[in-house]
Amino acid sequence: SQTIHQWPATLVQPVGSPLSLECTVEGTSNPNLYWYRQAAGRGLQLLFYSVGIGQISSEVPQNLSASRPQDRQFILSSKKLLLSDSGFYLCAWTLGLTSSTDTQYFGPGTRLTVL
């Protein structure tokens, strides 16, 4: 069976510090991978998605970046965090089937607080 891992679970960082969040998927090959952010009391905002190693599509221009160094590894980074970067960060994967039937599976999330 497939599982998705995210770490850390919680993180408190000062403004201006760097960020690295990691997501890994087990039990599948060549998944589509996604990063979302959810601000407190808000909906999910799609940040990045990737259909393969080294292939990153950005949805929202900001001070965040994403990388996919391995097939089942997805990393979210920032060089300098802003207060507005606080939120619940979720990684997700799909099999990359036709969009009509593809189901998205989410990780446990990382709660980031920028002070």
Partner 1 sequence: DAKTTQPNSMESNEEEPVHLPCNHSTISGTDYIHWYRQLPSQGPEYVIHGLTSNVNNRMASLAIAEDRKSSTLILHRATLRDAAVYYCILRDGSNTGNQFYFGTGTSLTVIP
Q: By the criterion CB under 8 A, which residues form the site for partner 1?
A: 32, 34, 36, 42-44, 46, 49, 51, 57, 59, 88, 90, 92, 94, 96-109, 111
Q: Are 75 and 22 in contact (CB under 8 A)?
A: yes
Distance CA 105, CA 74 (A): 14
Classify residue 95 as exposed, middle or buried by CB count within 10 Å of its CB (0-12, 13-18, 19+). middle
Shortest distance in whole angstroms from residue 79 CB to partner 1: 26
Shortest distance in whole angstroms from residue 19 CB to partner 1: 19
Percentages (nearest 5) of helix, strand, coil residues in the chain: 5, 55, 40
Judged by CB, which is closer to partner 1: 18, or 26?
A: 26
Judged by CB, which is closer to partner 1: 4, or 16?
A: 4
Judged by CB, which is closer to partner 1: 65, or 96?
A: 96
Shortest distance in whole angstroms from residue 39 CB to partner 1: 11
Judged by CB, which is closer to partner 1: 17, or 57?
A: 57
Angle at CA of residue 57, ends 60 and 65, nearest 5°: 65
Q: Tell me the residue type at 46.
A: L
